[in-house]
Amino acid sequence: MSKVPSTVPRRLGVPEVRARKGDTPIVVLTAYTAPIAKIVDQHADIILVGDSLGMVIYGMENTLGVTMDMMINHGKAVSSMTKNALIVVDMPFGSFEESKEVAFRNAVRLMAEGGANAVKIEGGRDVAPTIDFLTQRGIPVMAHVGLMPQRVQAMGGFRAQGKDEASANEILKDALAVQEAGAFSVVIEGVMEPVGRKITEELDIPTIGIGASAACDGQVLVIDDILGIFDEFKPKFVKRYANLNKDINAAIEDFCSEVRSGAFPADEHLFGTKSTAKKDAS
Ligand code: KIV
């Protein structure tokens, strides 16, 4: 049997991400579709198929209506067009809270059907036993503490967390608990900067910040936010690196006006016209 040549690129693995603690920053971006994932795959270390797709792709008000089928379908699309980045797929609201067994079955579906290399679970001490159950059974878990969008109703909106010492301590305890349970990394979302910094110092696993701290071991943002496509609102922690909304608008406006004026389609876009007859035949 021939060995796989060492030059064949392979995906970044969970142990390699784990080993990046305190090393070069880990770059994480979301992607939900195959063509965008293919581009992100050339640059980022981790692609997160986040349940933010509920808001970004499906126009939902929050992530609560996201289903397992959505996550599996988008996970499949993303994993099929990528070969370098580690693919992490979010466990949607309602897919892991009921019991460890239900969480296990759904995590297995995300890996077996959705192409996930690892799953992400929102929660702290409350989900630690579930994280322990999954990791003991070979499912790599990225945890998610601080602002947890799946708890938006309970939290009364998307608000920064850890504003006083007591709540900052609760978030630290959550982060320590998910590490203890076996998570290979943890997303820290929407917390006061010193909280993100302190958690990063205290933990042995990499922290991935989003509105957390520049001291985190990596950073994550939503792809439609950095590209300037999603313009419903802009959280403080988002930086736009492009304004594709404007470019898409301009392209669509040009197409509509050319169809209305008769400028499109031109001969070169048609078969069997005088100017293209030669090309059509070859
Ligand atoms: O769903 C998502 O995209 C996320 C990131 C914003 C961390 O959880």
CATH code for the domain in which residue 216 is found: 3.20.20.60
Residues 31, 28: Cα–Cα separation, whole Å: 10
Q: Could you report the average pLDDT of every consecutive run of 10 residues in the chain (282 residues)?
A: 61 97 97 98 98 96 97 98 98 98 98 98 98 98 97 90 96 98 98 98 98 98 96 90 96 98 97 73 58
Please give the pLDDT value at position 282. 57
101: which DSSP letter? H
- Alpha carbon distance 229, 101 (integer Å): 38
- Whose alpha carbon is nearest atom 3 of ligand 1? 50
Which residues are near ligand 1 (CB < 6 Å)? Answer: 30, 48, 50-52, 90, 187, 189, 210, 220, 222
Residues 234 and 274 occupy one common structural domain = no
pLDDT of residue 43: 97
The pairs formed by 178-181 with CB atoms below 8 angstroms and a separation of 24 or more are 178/123, 178/124, 178/127, 178/128, 178/131, 178/141, 178/143, 178/145, 179/143, 179/203, 179/204, 179/205, 180/128, 181/128, 181/129, 181/131, 181/132, 181/135, 181/141, 181/143
Angle ∠(248,249,250) on CA atoms, nearest 5 = 90
Same domain, yes or no, for 57 and 120?
Answer: yes
Q: Number of helices (H) and strands (E) in the chain: give both, helices first.
A: 12, 8
How close is the Cα of 52 to the center of ligand 1, in Å?
A: 6
Question: Is residue 179 situated within a structural domain?
Answer: yes
The residues, ordered by sequence, that sit 6+ positions from 47 with a Cβ below 8 Å of its Cβ are: 28, 29, 30, 31, 37, 40, 41, 78, 82, 85, 86, 87, 88
- Residue 63 CA: nearest ligand 1 atom is 1
pLDDT at position 254 is: 98
Entry pTM: 0.94
CA distance 74 to 180: 30
62 and 104 in a single domain? The answer is yes
Nearest one of 25, 33, 57, 39 to 216, comparing CA atoms = 25
Does residue 229 lie in a domain region?
yes
The residue behind tokens 């090393």 is 23
255 and 233 share one domain: no
Which atom of ligand 1 lies nearest, measured to the CA of 90? 1
Q: Tally the C-alpha atoms within 13 A of residue 259's C-alpha that lie toward its C-beta.
A: 5
- Of 198, 218, 223, the C-alpha closest to 74 is 223
Q: How far is the CA of 196 from the centre of ligand 1 (A)?
A: 16
Domain annotation covers residue 74: yes
Considering the domain architecture, whether residues 105 and 46 belong to the same structural domain is answered as: yes
Report how far apart, in Å, the C-alpha atoms of 67 and of each of 54, 75, 123, 255 are. 9, 12, 18, 35
Residue 6 falls inside a structural domain: no
270 and 258 in a single domain? The answer is yes
Q: Looking at the domain assignment, is residue 9 inside a domain?
A: no
- Domain residue limits at 40: 14-242
Residue 62 pLDDT: 95
What angle, 0 to 180 degrees and rounded to 10, lies between the N-to-C axes of helices 193-202 and 165-180? 30
Q: Is residue 193 part of a domain?
A: yes
- The pLDDT value given to residue 161: 93
State the catalytic residues.
189
- Cα–Cα distance between 172 and 177 in angstroms, integer? 9
Task: Confirm whether 208 is domain-assigned.
Answer: yes
Q: How far apart are alpha carbons 91 and 120 in whole angstroms?
A: 6
Q: Do 170 and 265 lie in a common domain?
A: no
The rounded Å distance from CA 49 to ligand 1 centre is 8
> How many angstroms separate the Cα of 242 from the Cα of each of 27, 128, 230?
18, 38, 11
* Whether residue 176 is found in the same domain as residue 271: no
Ligand 1 centroid distance, CA of 197 (Å) = 19
**Does residue 31 lie within any of the structural domains?**
yes
Distance 167 CA to ligand 1 centre (A): 22
Number of domains in the chain: 2
Report the pLDDT value the prediction gives residue 263, as an integer from 0 to 100.
Answer: 98
Give the per-residue pLDDT at 5: 58
Claim to verify: residue 137 and residue 121 sit in the same structural domain: yes
138 & 276 share domain? no
Q: Are residues 155 and 204 in the same domain?
A: yes
In this structure, which residue's CA is closest to atom 8 in ligand 1? Answer: 50
Quick one: which H or E segment has residue 248?
helix 244-261
Site to probe by mutation for ligand 1, drawn from 46, 49, 51, 91 as the one with most ligand atoms within 8 Å of Cβ, is: 51
Q: What is the pLDDT of residue 233?
A: 82
**Residue 9's pLDDT is what?**
65
Residues 52 and 97 in one domain: yes
Residue nearest to atom 4 of ligand 1 (CA): 50
